[in-house]
Amino acid sequence: MKTRIFFERIKAVESEQRIAALAVGRFMEATQHTPLLLSNHGLRDRDVRECQRHLEGTYVIRLFAEFEIALRFIWQHVRHSPNPPRTQISRLMDAMVARHHVPTDAAQAAHDVREYRNDLVHQGPPRTLLTIAESRSRLCNFLKFMPHYWS
């Protein structure tokens, strides 16, 4: 089994976000010419704008979910444990940092994405603003320090 699979899954989420952003942009254009596209579904212009505004954050949440799946999977398999760990993700990240000698900067950068994800989920004012590309880069950089292979 290879860690590379998780990089591919995380990258795929970023690609989906780009497709969704393009699609919403095109749809906004279309609704200016054909307002019925919205009103037929009980929607308004504002709904599409909100959708666009939240799109990147929504995908950051998914991106982090893939990262979390990866960490739990790697932890379980590297330790030959029958079940994935139920530990809080922040603690799991710290445990992985200690076990796999992840550089402090890389660990902090990934924790920043985790905090940003938490702010998005709980709709609190974000302490930091990260694009999806930055988030992907930080999470993949953390995963780079995980074992490349395991049985």
Partner 1 sequence: MPSNMLTATRAMAKDHWLGLLEKLLNEIQGWTEKQHWPVISQDKQVTEKSLGTYDTRDLVIKAPGGTLLIEPVAHDVPNSDGRVDISSFPSMHRMLLIRNRGNWQLYTDSGVAWPKKWNRETFIEVAKILTTA
Q: Which residues bind partner 1 (CB under 8 A)?
A: 78, 97-108, 147-150
Of all helices (H) and strands (E), which one includes residue 99? helix 89-100
- Indicate the SS3 state at residue 149: strand
Q: How many C-beta atoms surround the C-beta of residue 37 within 10 A?
A: 14
- Residue 125 CB, shortest distance to partner 1, in Å, is 25
Q: Which amino acid is residue 57, in one-letter code?
A: G
> Looking at beta carbons only, is 83 or 104 nearer to partner 1?
104
- Residue 2 CB, shortest distance to partner 1, in Å, is 9
- Let me know how long the chain is: 151
- Residue 150 CB, shortest distance to partner 1, in Å, is 6
> Looking at beta carbons only, is 34 or 108 nearer to partner 1?
108
> Looking at beta carbons only, is 5 or 98 nearer to partner 1?
98
> Looking at beta carbons only, is 28 or 78 nearer to partner 1?
78
Q: What's the burial of 53, exposed, middle or buried (CB within 10 Å: 0-12/13-18/19+)? A: exposed
